[in-house]
Structure 1
Amino acid sequence: MYDLTRFQRDLLYTIAGMDKPHGLALKDELDTYYESAIHHGRLYPNLDTLVDKGLVEKGSKDRRTNVYTITKRGRREIEARREWEAEYLEN
């Protein structure tokens, strides 16, 4: 997880919290968090990076829509990150 950008980490957490979201659902969710709009040119390359790193799987809902699910590795990375954060936040 250390090598992910903040945006990629936020994407990973968002995917983990949703049930097989598609790209536009992720965009809408992140648009509520970020002050500036999330553009397709930012969203989809970062999703592809998460897929390439084995943290997320990309599936197909229909011919035009991809869905994303977190992998076991992705969940382990989130758990490890939360444990690391807890070490510093509990003090």
Structure 2
Amino acid sequence: MAIKDELQNYYEAEINHGRLYPNLDTLVEKGLVEKGTLDKRTNSYTITDRGSRELEARREWESQYVENG
């Protein structure tokens, strides 16, 4: 699972399936991520245009409070 692996590497901790999937479902419900299927057992997740806009807005907000360099 690519998402789980990426999160575990980032946080240097094991990610629990019981927390991961409900959080992904919340992102889907909010229209930030789109859920698809790769096969009968594997889902795929893709960021939506709205999700990209929200991330960009967050980056802009953060840049007001974090100095570069």
Same fold (TM > 0.5): yes
Matched, 1:88 2:65: yes
The residue type equivalent to 2:31 in the other structure is G
**Cα RMSD, aligned residues only:** 1.3
The residue type equivalent to 1:27 in the other structure is K
Matched, 1:31 2:4: no
Q: Which of 46, 50, 61 is 2:38 aligned to?
A: 61
The residue aligned with 1:40 is 17
Matched position secondary structure for 1:33 = helix
CA-CA distance at 1:44 after TM superposition: 0.5
Identity among equivalent pairs (%) = 74
TM-score, normalising length from structure 2? 0.90
The residue aligned with 1:52 is 29
Matched position secondary structure for 1:64 = coil
The residue aligned with 1:16 is none
Larger Rg: 2
Task: Count residues in correspondence.
Answer: 68
TM-score, normalising length from structure 1? 0.70
5+ residue gaps in structure 2? none
CA-CA distance at 1:35 after TM superposition: 3.4
5+ residue gaps in structure 1? 1-23
CA-CA distance at 1:90 after TM superposition: 3.5
Separation in structure 2 between the aligned mates of residue 55 and residue 39 of structure 1, nearest angstrom: 21
